[in-house]
Structure 1
Amino acid sequence: MKGLPYAIAGLLSCVATVQCLGEPCKDCDFTSVVDILSASAMFSTFLRVLQRNGDIPTLNELQNFTLLAPVNTAFAGLSDSESIAGFDISNYILRDRVLETSAIDNGTSVIYEGVKFPLGLRRDESGPIRINGAAVVESDLKPNFQNATVHGISELLPDPPNSRGLVHDINREGRSVNIFHSFVESFPGFEQMTDNNTLLIPSDVNFFKCFNHIEINYILDTFDELSSLDGPLAGSWSHDRQIFLQNLICHGIIGGQTANRQIVKNLNNQPVQVTSHELGSSLSVNDSTPSNQANMIFDRGIAHSFSDLPFLPDAFQFTAEKYLHGMNSTDFVKELYFRKLQHMIREKSLHQNLTIFVPEFNSNEHQGFTKSSLLYHFVEYQLWLEEEFKDVNRIHSSTKTFPSAFCSSNKRLGGNCQRLRITKTESSYIINDKYRVLHAKPYMVGRTLVYTISEALQLPGEFLFSLNPFHHCSKSLSLLRQVNLLNLPLNNKGYTILLPCFDSWRNYDLNFEYLRNNATAVEHIAKSMILQSLIYSDTKTQTIEVSNMLDEEVSLSIHPPRSNRVDIELSNVVGKIKIERGLDALFNQGVIHPLKGFYLPKDINISLKDLIETSGANRFLELLENLEDFTSMINESIPFSVLVPMSTFLGPGGITGSSKNLQDFLKVHLAIGSSTHSLLKCDGTISTLFGEPLICRQSSTGDYWLKLQNGDDHEVRILRRGCASSGNESCVFLIDRPISIRWLNRDKKSLRLPGIAIGAGVLVGSVSMLAVFLCILLVLFGKSAKRSPLPASADEEHTNQEARPLLANNDSSRAISNLSHEQNGRFESTYSSNASVPAIDVAYSPR
């Protein structure tokens, strides 16, 4: 009730005049601001609040001020307690300023001196003057006892939010400042920095114009990693954010028309030119696009929102390190710092060409790295994958190798850099057949390219574990294991290994069997094909001298690539070695080239005899060695191939016949050299020494089957193959059974016989028919006779008359002699009971 005397005094003063309550007291000699409020009913609620808060003495003591008095409607809907709660008379007083509406220019102006918080005044040609959004409904009421002005306003003027709260409110209203809001929320001391200053708020559009999502992740610490760091790792991020915010805060309160063409400074002490537009309703800085929203008041300053602040990115000098943080690869950065390799992602990334393959964030958690494995993620030049593989057909894949930054392995690679093997498939890029590049277009920061990959790269391992199992190199590896060449000694040069894989042994399984039993030959061949130098499939065309593991200096010539193949010649190896481009298998000591062919050094001699003996057909070989044609072809080095029946058909009772028949039998198993290719490819006709050609058929299972071209449907299957070191025109083919000349078509054969032979045939036929007729008579006659059982001695005699084996002893000449005199043995005696065709009898002679 302490304000009651003042209210009574005001009332008495008004009664003493002819004015009624509710009208300004114009004739009172000593009127105050309180008198004016008391004289008008529209201020009754405001006056009551002032009385209850004890603010009447404060108003009576003031001089040179302006009071903004809310009219009754401003309190509509509020109870007395709500009207009083949080009420502060300072919100409505302009100290040291008697504001008259006639002095308010059209447009927007800002008052920031002598007020609790800045006031934005807006005057339009139509409509009332507005102060912080409240309309002036009664203006220029002046007491004569105080130098002051009273303006009635339509709304209350509560405390505005602080700077953080203002940004929050703007974002909540959907004005697209979500990114800056997130930044402010994580920045301690933001309110202190904006105290009595002007805040420039960039919108989300502004951020997206100036930064990509990786950079925004770094600015905001989206993954909550940077805020928990300390030391040099955190220092750069904290400094960047500080500079960034200080760029957006200008000294002083700048707004309205007062901002027209001003040069102010931000908190980084950099000049900023501010220009007002549309009578102060919008602003631009440094000739930017005008603000989206201007003159937004907060408790200690003013803010403006922009979608185009040109200097927004000036605070950041992005390096590869900052990009890695933005890609959620902070753990990878920590590893680089731990291994003292941080220079690779800091200043070096800005001034030196570099490519980084960074593992995806969820794959490098708790991942340990060595210094070598970290360097393996770097390429020390810009590797544009799309450019490197631009000529690759979308359907077909292509592979290339690129040197990594891991070049310190002097003992293993002789100081050369370990390579990355990258394959372009239809839909993606794959590193070392395992690691997928997640995006074809890299991020570029400075002069560094950054790719994300599916998981952390592992350095190529040891020889045995670096080969793709689908290359089918197990046979060759077994030979290398046999001579202890799977673990190669450190040579300070690196190795190139030429390794038969895939179907290399398909035509050489007899060679493989021979080598398995000849460790000396295996070691010599293997060491000849292991070079102590690094030769990749994309090594440039040249001729160089290299040494192999036999310490021999050999000449190596690399020919220009043809399609996806590179031909290499070694002076000590027979033929051109065909290397598939991009098939390089990297290992920790060099490179392995999986070959699709089998190659022999020139000083290794594997003969047909070696291969026949390896097949186990020694008896067949004995027969061949007594064949004149065979011996002469061997002595004259004439290329030919041998079809070798399995040894089971050459055992006791296996083959019988005359000497003439035996020679024909052997000759049908000898193919001339020009037909060897047809045998190997199962294509075309195969010429034999016997004169009757063979034809080859490949079954659905991939097996090769042979038959006489002019014969019936009998076929033999090729089981194994092998070729002499003299070349692929002299090979051995192991077949499942002999080829019988009895399979020849008799009709076709008889057409080729001379007339005498035909007459002889007629004579023989007649005699045969007579013999058959006599046999029939004997049989009929025998039925009438009384039969008696065969005595045991007859069985014994029959058994004793069985033919002796063709090769019963090792004397070849005796075997052929016995063959011509003993005709009772039958081939069927040793033929398998499970066979689907009858046994072969070579006793038939075409006559």
Structure 2
Amino acid sequence: MKGLSYAIAGLLSCVATVQSFGEPCKDCDFTSVVDILSSSAMFSTFLRVIQRNGDIPTLNELQNFTLLAPVNTAFAGLSESESIADFDIYNYILEDRVLDTSEIVRGTSVIYEGVKFPLVLRRDESGPARINNAAIVESDLKPNFQNATVHGISELLPNPPNSQSLIHDINRESRKADIFDSFVQGFRGFEQITDNNTLLIPSDVNFFKCFNHIEINYILDPFDELSSLDGPMADAWNHDRQVFLQNLICHGIIGGQTAGRRITTNLNNQLVHVTNHNLGSSLSVNGSTPSNKANMIFNRGIAHSFSDMPFLPDAFQFTAEKYLHGMNSTDFVKELYFRKLQHIIQEKSLYENLTIFVPEFSSNEHQGFSKPNLLYHFVEDQLWLEEEFKDVNRIHSSTRTFPSAFCSSNKRLGGNCQRLRITKTESSYIINDKFKVLHAKPHVIGRTLIYTISEALQLPGEFLSSLNPFHHCSESLSLFQQVNLLNLPLNNKGYTILLPCFDSWHDYDLNFEYLRSNVTAIEHLSKSMILQTLIYSDTKTQTLEVMNMLDEKVSLSIHSADRSNQVDVELSDVAGTVKIERGLDTLFNQGVIHPLRSFYVPKEINISLKDLIETSGANYFLELLENLEDFTSMINESKPFSVLVPMSVGTGSITDRSTNLEDFLRLHLVNGSSTYSLLKCDGQISTLFGEPLICRQSSTGDYWLKLQNGDDHEVHILRRGCSSSGNKSCVFLIDRPISIRWLNRDKKRLRLPGIAIGAGVLVGSVSMLAVFLCILLVLFGKSAKRPVLRASLDEEHDNQEARSLLANNDSSRAIPNPRQEQNRRFETTYSSNASVPAIDVANSPR
């Protein structure tokens, strides 16, 4: 029997060989697949191709198969060489299956066993069945010698694209899979991982539903950072990309109605529930909406595309580290790994409050970070900037400080955390007056908030370099420099410096000059205003004891009202309440500086009015005050009076008998209750003489004084200063004396009653008649002798002004003797027993 089988096979081979040369066996009782192809002209082109490719023996040797034979029209437009090129007979063979068209049910099914690549069979209610879009135009041609069937198809079945090319083709046609296309193009080993599997393709819409742009960047690595990494950081990133892809690949070929309702697993061994719809023309997975496109074959598998796969984000969990990669801040992450700080941005960031200020990618290239500097970019709390500054008017700015994660500087800050100073302006947020926050809404991942800033933060520097030049602290700094306090020693506590800035010395420039010449006073003042602790403007109301730089214990009381822009600080060794402006904290590497808008005097420093007058150089005027006993105690004890000190005082200041020295001085003494008005150049200013002054501020900010009831003469306030007893006892240096004569002229002109005016008219008439008679006598009389009457008082005043002696500011300059400058008339009317020389107050220079 075995020999008979071999004989029959040999005979069949001979017959097939004869037929292969185009000589049909007319008298044979059996036919093969090749016989069917030879007997029909519609397969002539296909037969010629397989003859030239040497595929006839292959077809004759097969059993239990189906041949899909393209008809001649499938080759239309192709040359003979094009028809043969890349031709593979196995593209058209279903092995181990004889497929009858009656088995092709309505709908879509997939054949994936016994084929070179999956075949998708479709049958509608009308029309022929189709295999991979090729219509079956001649069906069920069966040879009687082989267990096989032949179907004539309308199209060729070329090799499908590989999985990567399929995705690229889908995106090129629809432009709806650009993200996934970019992902697979840069994924090594993608072909191997999809071999004989089902690929689920997420559309761009699906990505945008499930991820934000930062998360998409992490998946895609568009900045090509992954290629430059190695070690644990690269391993973690590659692992996430691998897991993400494996989540979209199911084991085996799943498609058409063969999918049914089944449970399979993906390459991460997670369960995937598959359901087909519309007779296999679409399917859904894990409760997704039906696929947009289904049953798309590639060379070793099948693919389906979706716009809504809700399980897409389930592949892995995002952390702050992954967000930083997605924000193109991989260099920042590298620095954290290098400094062994990567734990801050890993799983910990999901469960603990954290805020990160990360520099924009373009600013951190090739930039190194120290460990303290890296920690300064973190705040161990959630800072929702819009919430923190929600009550701030858009027109005005507001500033607050927040502790950073840099808390290890025991020597400098006593273990306290260095702070970040954040200012809300009309349009943005600024850190430490320099670094701009580029977006008000943070990126949120877990319990971590991430803000992008314009450039890497720098830790606050030394005392001098940290000050804002626009705060105008140079005068105070010059005092600190005199006593070597610009470099503070490490104290393991940190410092709070209360520093007069802005216009603090504007009302106290005489105080400044006095201090500058008194090193002991400078040292006491400066060290009293440096506290060895950290007090910020957001410190709550409390009372505590601290040490100042004099190593003295000081009682410190802080009064902080929620809606106030100022914090009141009372120091037991400083007179008055120190006003700290909220949010004006200036950070430096050893603590905080509070620029003050006022000058405060320690209680141990006593500056009298006399000290300030001496500092001004008006020694002559000081002599005048000290010659009167009432005024001596006033200037020595700094009683609540202020002094207007003229820069120059002439001997022509008193020439009228109606005035005296005491009146002159009283006109230059201001009641303490009016000193504040004088300091602010606002309101009426009362003098001890009784006549009020008024102040005018010019467009340049200068202050000018005049008598309220006098003429338009004004004096210019040049400098000022106040005694240590407070702002009710000050010295104002003016450019010239205030003359009582300015007031007298106005009185004569303005205070005449009505009766006096009438009497004046009568007296005037009589006087005119008398003058007329005198003129007649003069004309007819002898030549007149020298006149007895001297020049008028006004002429006398002008002469006296020309001869007035000035009290020079320079104490080394000799004070002139007034007696040598006075005219004889005045000398004869002035008492020879007076203890001071005569001074013409009424006729001072105008």
Give the TM-score, by structure 2 length. 0.89
Residue equivalent to 1:308: 308
Residue equivalent to 2:687: 688
Please report how far the alpha carbon of residue 438 of structure 1 lies from its aligned counterpart in structure 2 after TM superposition.
0.9
Q: SS of the residue aligned with 2:507?
A: coil
Post-superposition Cα deviations, 1:552-596, rounded to whole Å, max 9, x if no partner, equal: 111111113252111111111111111111010111111111111
Provide closer, same or farther for how the CA distance between residues 783 and 266 of structure 1 changes in structure 2, counting only shifts above 3 A. farther
Post-superposition Cα deviations, 1:745-799, rounded to whole Å, max 9, x if no partner, equal: 52534666999999999999999999999899999999999xxxxxxxxxxxxx9
* 8 Å Cα contact 2:618-2:807 kept in structure 1: no
* 8 Å Cα contact 2:34-2:56 kept in structure 1: yes
Provide closer, same or farther for how the CA distance between residues 822 and 489 of structure 1 changes in structure 2, counting only shifts above 3 A. farther
| Structure-2 separation of matches of 1:763 and 1:626 | 44
Q: SS of the residue aligned with 2:24?
A: helix
Provide closer, same or farther for how the CA distance between residues 205 and 512 of structure 1 changes in structure 2, counting only shifts above 3 A. same
Please report how far the alpha carbon of residue 13 of structure 1 lies from its aligned counterpart in structure 2 after TM superposition.
3.0
Provide closer, same or farther for how the CA distance between residues 572 and 658 of structure 1 changes in structure 2, counting only shifts above 3 A. farther
| Structure-2 separation of matches of 1:479 and 1:193 | 75
Query: Structure 1: which amino acid aligns with 2:579?
Result: K
Residue equivalent to 2:8: none
Counterparts in 2 of 1:125-144, with a 5 A limit?
125-144=125-144
Residue equivalent to 2:594: 593
Please report how far the alpha carbon of residue 805 of structure 1 lies from its aligned counterpart in structure 2 after TM superposition.
5.3
Residue equivalent to 2:707: 708
| Structure-2 separation of matches of 1:780 and 1:593 | 88
| Structure-2 separation of matches of 1:173 and 1:261 | 31
Provide closer, same or farther for how the CA distance between residues 783 and 459 of structure 1 changes in structure 2, counting only shifts above 3 A. farther
Name whichever of 5-14 and 633-642 sits farther off: 5-14
* Number of equivalences: 802
Q: SS of the residue aligned with 2:25?
A: helix
Residue equivalent to 1:23: none
| Structure-2 separation of matches of 1:516 and 1:772 | 69
| Structure-2 separation of matches of 1:779 and 1:718 | 55
Residue equivalent to 1:623: 624
Provide closer, same or farther for how the CA distance between residues 600 and 712 of structure 1 changes in structure 2, counting only shifts above 3 A. same
* 8 Å Cα contact 2:651-2:822 kept in structure 1: no
**Residue 547 (structure 1) aligned with residue 547 (structure 2):** yes
| Structure-2 separation of matches of 1:681 and 1:763 | 49
Q: SS of the residue aligned with 1:650?
A: coil
Q: SS of the residue aligned with 2:146?
A: coil
Query: Structure 1: which amino acid aligns with 2:674?
Result: S
| Structure-2 separation of matches of 1:64 and 1:417 | 81
Name whichever of 565-574 and 166-175 sits farther off: 166-175
Please report how far the alpha carbon of residue 241 of structure 1 lies from its aligned counterpart in structure 2 after TM superposition.
1.1
Residue equivalent to 1:336: 336
Residue equivalent to 1:277: 277
Provide closer, same or farther for how the CA distance between residues 781 and 397 of structure 1 changes in structure 2, counting only shifts above 3 A. farther
Q: SS of the residue aligned with 1:678?
A: helix
Please report how far the alpha carbon of residue 436 of structure 1 lies from its aligned counterpart in structure 2 after TM superposition.
0.8
| Structure-2 separation of matches of 1:773 and 1:577 | 77
* 8 Å Cα contact 1:723-1:731 kept in structure 2: yes
Name whichever of 308-317 and 318-327 sits farther off: 308-317
Provide closer, same or farther for how the CA distance between residues 664 and 195 of structure 1 changes in structure 2, counting only shifts above 3 A. same
Provide the aligned C-alpha RMSD in A.
3.4
Provide closer, same or farther for how the CA distance between residues 223 and 805 of structure 1 changes in structure 2, counting only shifts above 3 A. closer
Residue equivalent to 1:442: 442
* 8 Å Cα contact 1:3-1:51 kept in structure 2: no
Provide closer, same or farther for how the CA distance between residues 690 and 426 of structure 1 changes in structure 2, counting only shifts above 3 A. same
Residue equivalent to 2:260: 260
| Structure-2 separation of matches of 1:361 and 1:122 | 53
| Structure-2 separation of matches of 1:775 and 1:696 | 49
* 8 Å Cα contact 1:10-1:34 kept in structure 2: no
| Structure-2 separation of matches of 1:312 and 1:60 | 50
Query: Structure 2: which amino acid aligns with 1:320?
Result: A
Post-superposition Cα deviations, 1:218-246, rounded to whole Å, max 9, x if no partner, equal: 11111111122111120100111111111
Counterparts in 2 of 1:220-231, with a 5 A limit?
220-231=220-231
Residue equivalent to 2:250: 250
Please report how far the alpha carbon of residue 629 of structure 1 lies from its aligned counterpart in structure 2 after TM superposition.
3.6
Name whichever of 187-196 and 651-660 sits farther off: 651-660
Counterparts in 2 of 1:156-555, with a 5 A limit?
156-555=156-555
Q: SS of the residue aligned with 1:172?
A: helix
Q: SS of the residue aligned with 2:506?
A: coil
Query: Structure 2: which amino acid aligns with 1:491?
Result: N
Identical residues among aligned pairs (%): 78
Q: SS of the residue aligned with 2:706?
A: strand
Please report how far the alpha carbon of residue 403 of structure 1 lies from its aligned counterpart in structure 2 after TM superposition.
0.3
Provide closer, same or farther for how the CA distance between residues 209 and 672 of structure 1 changes in structure 2, counting only shifts above 3 A. same
Query: Structure 1: which amino acid aligns with 2:589?
Result: N
| Structure-1 separation of matches of 2:765 and 2:499 | 63
Query: Structure 2: which amino acid aligns with 1:30?
Result: F
Post-superposition Cα deviations, 1:386-406, rounded to whole Å, max 9, x if no partner, equal: 111111122211111000000
Q: SS of the residue aligned with 2:631?
A: helix
Post-superposition Cα deviations, 1:779-823, rounded to whole Å, max 9, x if no partner, equal: 9999999xxxxxxxxxxxxx99x979598999x999788898856
Query: Structure 1: which amino acid aligns with 2:346?
Result: R
Provide closer, same or farther for how the CA distance between residues 83 and 448 of structure 1 changes in structure 2, counting only shifts above 3 A. same
| Structure-1 separation of matches of 2:572 and 2:297 | 87
| Structure-2 separation of matches of 1:515 and 1:32 | 122
* 8 Å Cα contact 1:45-1:75 kept in structure 2: yes
* 8 Å Cα contact 1:742-1:841 kept in structure 2: no
| Structure-2 separation of matches of 1:202 and 1:606 | 82
Residue equivalent to 1:39: 39
Query: Structure 1: which amino acid aligns with 2:552?
Result: E
Provide closer, same or farther for how the CA distance between residues 670 and 772 of structure 1 changes in structure 2, counting only shifts above 3 A. farther
Give the TM-score, by structure 1 length. 0.89
| Structure-1 separation of matches of 2:416 and 2:107 | 73
| Structure-2 separation of matches of 1:805 and 1:7 | 146
Residue equivalent to 2:740: 741
Q: SS of the residue aligned with 1:314?
A: helix
Provide closer, same or farther for how the CA distance between residues 473 and 9 of structure 1 changes in structure 2, counting only shifts above 3 A. closer
Post-superposition Cα deviations, 1:172-211, rounded to whole Å, max 9, x if no partner, equal: 1125111111111111111111111111111111111221
Please report how far the alpha carbon of residue 412 of structure 1 lies from its aligned counterpart in structure 2 after TM superposition.
0.6
Please report how far the alpha carbon of residue 655 of structure 1 lies from its aligned counterpart in structure 2 after TM superposition.
6.8
Residue equivalent to 1:12: 24
Residue equivalent to 2:789: none
| Structure-2 separation of matches of 1:764 and 1:803 | 35
Provide closer, same or farther for how the CA distance between residues 346 and 762 of structure 1 changes in structure 2, counting only shifts above 3 A. farther
* 8 Å Cα contact 2:653-2:841 kept in structure 1: no
Please report how far the alpha carbon of residue 443 of structure 1 lies from its aligned counterpart in structure 2 after TM superposition.
1.1
Q: SS of the residue aligned with 2:660?
A: helix
Provide closer, same or farther for how the CA distance between residues 68 and 574 of structure 1 changes in structure 2, counting only shifts above 3 A. same
Provide closer, same or farther for how the CA distance between residues 813 and 219 of structure 1 changes in structure 2, counting only shifts above 3 A. closer
